[in-house]
Amino acid sequence: MLIPSIDFQSGRVVQLVQGDKLAIESHDLDGWLDRFARFPIVQVIDLDAAMGTGDNSALVRYVCARRACQVGGGIRTVERAQALLDAGASRVILGSSLFSNDVVQIDRAREFFDALGADRLIAAVDSRGGHVTIHGWKTMTTITAAEAVTSLSPFVSSFLYTHVDTEGTMKGLNVEAVLNVQRATTRKIIAAGGIREMSEVDHLDALGIDAVVGMAIYTGVMKTAAGPTGPTGP
């Protein structure tokens, strides 16, 4: 399954290369929501909240009220997660709150699990150079992606694995890295990071893996059934 991504930064829909370089910005949120209406679910990430530089809560809630979505970015408390679910999110994505000091925070994962149940929880495992990176991909840990998913599997329904090395580059996803993560858990894997072609999405689907795609859709490089181009204005 293809899951389109809507990333927010400073009140705009954006696409970044490896979390740093702004490549695309748009103020036509409704245009993207219209284009993504045919997809079963979209992914919404509040980049400012993830990086601790602010938030785009109003925009996130706007999407939650209009599309089935999984939401991430700066979700550090059960209360915040519950508020997003109450706003209409189908699932919430937990990231940096599950890791600190090169340790997987099992007690934090259990806290979310006890309050919300596994079905509504996705753990984000963002990998750069083979190790988990947190705080908006700014802080490297010594934890491998496989170690992370093994430790967190009892508490979540699925994992969002992002191959940061290729994220936003449209150079193609490192499928072997994704399979290495898949082999470490029985939970569902959702993969992201450099996907360019629908053939990659189809290949992942055959492996039982969902694909999050951003840059290739926003640039029109990926020709989805919804059409090759998106909204016409910034």
Residues identified as active-site: 7, 126
Residue 120, classed as helix, strand or coil, is: helix
CA–CA gap between residue 224 and residue 199 (Å, rounded)? 11
d(CA 219, CA 228): 8
Strands 158-163 and 131-134: unpaired
Q: How many other CB atoms are there within 10 angstroms of residue 21's CB atom?
A: 9
How far, in Å, CA of 109 to CA of 222, rounded? 36
> What's the CA gap between 71 and 169, in Å, rounded?
23
Q: How far apart (Å, rounded) are the C-alpha atoms in residues 180 and 192? A: 14
Give the E-state strand segments of the chain in sequence order. Answer: 2-9, 12-17, 21-26, 42-46, 69-72, 91-94, 99-100, 103-104, 121-128, 131-134, 139-144, 158-163, 188-192, 209-213
